[in-house]
Amino acid sequence: MEALILELKKEIIEVLNLEELTPEDINEDAPLFVEGLGLDSIDALELIVLMEKNYGIKLNNAAEGRDIFKSVRIMAEYIAKNRTK
Amino acid sequence: MNEDIVVTGMGIITGLGYGKKQTLEALRLQHSGIGKNNYLQTIHADYPVSEVKMSDNEMRNFLKIPSEKIITRTPLLGIMALNEAINEARFDKNEARKIAFINGTTVGGMEKSEQYYPEFINTEHYIENHDCGSSSEAIAEYFGNFDMITTISTACSSAANAIVLGANLLKTERVDVAIVGGTECLSKFHLNGFNTLMILDKAACRPFDATRTGLNLGEGAAYLVLEKASDAQQRNIKPLCKLSGYANTCDAYHQTASSPDGQGAYLAMQNALYESQLKPEDIDYINAHGTGTENNDLSEGTAIMRIFKDTIPPVSSTKPFTGHTTSAAGSVESIISILALQHDFIPANLNFNHPMPELSFQPVKENITKKLQHVLTNSFGFGGNDTTCIFSKIE
Amino acid sequence: MNINIASYCRLTNHKLEVNDIDIQIQKTEASSLNDIYRHLNLSYPKFFKMDNLSKAGFLASELLLKNIIIDKETPKKDMAIVLMNRSASLDNDRTYQTTIQYENNFFPSPSVFVYTLSNIVNGEIAIRNKIMGESSFYISENFSPEKIYSAVMNTFSDPNINQVICGWVDYEFNECDVLLLLIRKENQEKIPFNVNNIYHLYT
């Protein structure tokens, strides 16, 4: 799980253009949206693309993402359970 | 210049049909142009779209464009619409008038570029026709006598902004006639783009409905001919209506989402009312931007409540008829608003069933016959680009 | 009432000049816009999500408005943004196309799609500074001081508008070509806004 969490942090930094952050700067239990990293609706959509592209998990709408993207750890747990890649 | 700006010609082509007559008939009979894609080759066949029911070849034949002439779908739609507008305005080519052509488009020639991209070396002429400006030039070239041509590219408010610019050019007496509007054809590029933003609906769109989940894309073109009232009188041409007021503002909130309190929309409507010297209660009908996305309808609905308070007039979005024609929407919907004005007829907001709990009003469910004096229409684009136009009957 | 050029910023691959002051920055070929951002010590992480066109326009606007807009939160309803370019959003459109080019690697990017519209650069400047007046973007085959002058004077026909951020913002094939001007209606006479002065600031 720790390896997946680190991998996920790196991928999030890359796809969301969080150029000034390193994986160490991201707390895996902190909220990603609103507070925490302050991501917005477009970022959520990019994470949905990331889920499908890298892990073969298809989400059908933005609302599904809301629960899964609560924190990096929650995302990683969901991926570990549902990945097809 | 303090004179009225009047509309002396209009032309339109959308999924509802070609020309004002077919458009009005479709509105009255509640025949939507939205359905399965026929001309656009895309894997996203599960998203309903409103296509113009003519192939490129059918339009070329109608316009007598020789087969060797390279021209893409966006300008073809534009020429079809402009043909009707110019015929109605009855210009005498021999009269010396400074005519501006202001065209709104974003897709340009993209629909051909994406088809031919892998082989572009052999079909480089399509690549030359890719950019927005060349669409405008292609349209202008067909008619041959414009003194000024320019292209506005502000996404879904482009055509409405063309109206704003045209009116300003007339007011500052830089031109005698301003032909304004927009044109856009469907393309895989923007269908995929809107899909990736998750704002397309797999069912027919339902503006201002609590269950709404997105928009349906459409294609089309529409142009208005604007002149000073005194010029129209001098030419002995009866204006269709006047452009009483208009405004363009910026929401300054997000690249693609609208602010929760609809501030940009609020300012656009407020400024347009102020310029037209009308009060909110003078407006008889609002043709809303009403895309059917969760975000727009809430934001726009909130702005409408803030401006109109207890005197909200009938509101409908006609995007369930035409689809969201993006860069052409501002002029397509202005013409629909003017048809409503001319015929004292308010088209229904199709597919509406569940009122939004956040709003104090509902859109009109059925066609309404009502005496209309002033009609307001909104067009909002990505980038927070918000435009309102008000058209009025001439006493 | 005079219409003055209150401030200007010229940004190309070889030059960064603001109100007659040359700003020297070590530029590498690969990421010059990011380098300028860092050099300016701006704290605006959303910058890195922008496409090249928006980055170029945004940076120029930060310099243009430095010491002029101190309060970035108060809505400015009397300020408009009127920009032009030749290549629209083609630079970013090509990037977007790569995400949908191949059937076996088909992942359209929403954040890239956002920038496939030329006027998003207006939006970025407006969001940053809460500018709520008119916002327009025109496509022109070449840089034209006449067209810029004409568009801005048209914008001033709205009596609510007292200031306009205008100019040319183009980015294509790694070439950055930006001239931003802040035009103001003022009582005093300063550098007049006219076609000649626009031309001289560009060349």
Residue B254 designated active-site: no
The answer to whether B132 contacts C88, with C-beta atoms less than 8 Å apart, is: yes
For residue A25, the distance in angstroms to the closest alpha carbon of chain C comes to 14
Q: Counting one residue from A and one from C, how many pairs have CB atoms under 8 Å apart?
A: 29
- What is the token pair recorded at A23? 């994986």
The alpha-carbon gap from A2 to the nearest alpha carbon of chain B, in Å, equals 30
Average pLDDT over residues B184-202: 92
**Whether residue B121 has pLDDT greater than 50:** no
Q: B289 catalytic, yes or no?
A: yes
Q: C54: domain CATH number?
A: 3.40.47.10
A66 contacts in chain B (CB < 8 Å): none
CA distance C6 to C67: 12
pLDDT > 80? residue B95? no
* Res B271 pLDDT > 60: yes
Domain spanning B244-392, CATH class:
alpha beta
Average pLDDT over residues B260-283: 95
**What is the per-residue pLDDT for C190?**
87
**Rounded distance, CA B94 to CA C129, Å?**
49
Cβ contact B186:B111 at 8 Å:
yes
Whether residue C45 and residue A16 make contact (CB cut-off 8 A), yes or no, is no
C123 shares contact with chain B (CB less than 8 Å)? yes
CB contact under 8 A, C113 and B197: yes
pLDDT(C120) > 50: yes
Residue B165 has pLDDT above 60, yes or no: yes
The answer to whether residues B5 and B17 touch, using CB atoms and an 8 Å cutoff, is no
Residue of B nearest to A49 (CA): B196
From B130, B190, B289, B374, active-site residue: B289
Q: How far is CA C179 from CA B219, C134, C165, C196, in A?
A: 35, 19, 10, 14
pLDDT confidence of residue C134? 93
Of the candidate ranges A53-67, B107-121, B319-333, the one whose mean pLDDT is the lowest:
B107-121
Average pLDDT over residues C14-31: 72
ipTM of the complex: 0.88
Instruction: Give the closest-approach CA distance of C154 to chain B in angstroms.
Output: 6
Domain that holds residue A26: 2-82
- Count of CB atoms situated within 10 Å of the CB of B125: 15
Most A CBs within 10 Å, among C40, C44, C46, C48, to test the A interface: C48
- Whether the full predicted model's pTM is greater than 0.95, yes or no, is no
Quick one: average pLDDT of A29-46? 86
Instruction: Return the partners of chain C (3 or more C-beta pairs < 8 Å).
Output: A, B
- State the smallest CA–CA distance between residue C26 and chain B in angstroms: 31
Which residues from chain C sit within 8 angstroms of residue B129, using beta carbons?
Answer: none
Q: Which fold has domain B5-234?
A: Peroxisomal Thiolase; Chain A, domain 1 (3.40.47)
Taking an 8 Å cut-off on Cβ atoms, the answer to whether A45 and B197 are in contact is yes
CB spacing of A61 vs B256 below 8 angstroms: no
Boundaries of CATH 3.40.47.10 in chain B?
A: 5-234, 244-392
The answer to whether the Cβ–Cβ distance between A62 and B196 falls below 8 Å is no
Helix (H) or strand (E) holding B188: helix B188-196
B chain contacts of residue C135, beta-carbon cutoff 8 Å:
154, 248-250, 383-385
Q: Per-residue pLDDT tens for C48-80?
A: 999 999 999 999 999 999 988 888 899 999 999
pLDDT tens digit string along B297-342?
999 999 999 999 999 999 999 999 999 999 999 999 999 999 999 9
Annotation says B190 is catalytic: no
Contact B213 A61 (CB under 8 A): yes
Q: What is the pLDDT of residues B10-66, one digit of tens each?
A: 999 999 999 999 999 999 999 999 999 888 877 777 899 999 999 999 999 999 998
Measured between CB atoms, does B183 come within 8 Å of chain C?
A: no
The residue ranking higher by pLDDT, B395 or B273, is: B273
Q: Report the SS3 class of residue B93.
A: coil
A42-66 per-residue burial string, b: 16 or more CB within 10 A, e: under 16: bbbbbbbbbbebbbebebeebeebe
At residue A16, the pLDDT reads 94
CA distance A65 to A44: 7
More confident: C1 or B145: C1
Q: How many domains does chain A have?
A: 1
Whether B227 shows a pLDDT value over 80: the answer reads yes
Among all chains, which residue has been given the structure tokens 């995929």?
B192
| Chain A contacts in chain C segment 112-171 (CB below 8 A) | 114
User: What secondary structure does DSSP assign to B305-367, as a single string?
Assistant: HHHHTT----EE--HHHH-B-GGGHHHHHHHHHHHHHHHTEE---TT--SB-TT-S-----S-
Q: In terms of CA atoms, which chain A residue is nearest residue C111?
A: A42
Task: Give the pLDDT of residue B114.
Answer: 65
Range(s) of the domain holding residue C7: 2-202
Start-to-end C-alpha separation, chain B = 20
The residue with greater pLDDT, B119 or B350, is: B350
Quote the number of domains for chain C.
Answer: 1
Q: Is C95 on the interface with B (CB under 8 A)?
A: no
pLDDT at residue C57, as a whole number: 98
C122 CB neighbours in chain B (<8 A) are 154, 250, 383, 385
Strands B17-18 and B5-14: antiparallel
Is C111 within 8 Å of A45 when comparing Cβ atoms? yes
Predicted local confidence at residue B129, as pLDDT: 60
| Chain A closest-CA separation from residue C76 CA (Å) | 24
Across the interface, whether the CB atoms of B198 and A49 are under 8 A apart is answered no
Instruction: Return the DSSP state at B200.
Output: B
* Residues 6+ away with beta carbon under 8 Å from A60: none
Residues 6+ apart with CB under 8 A from B18: B12, B52, B54, B80, B84
Position C31 confidence tier, pLDDT thresholds 50, 70, 90? very low
Residue C28's pLDDT band, with cuts at 50, 70 and 90, is very low
Nearest CA in chain C to B174: C150
CATH code: domain of residue A31: 1.10.1200.10
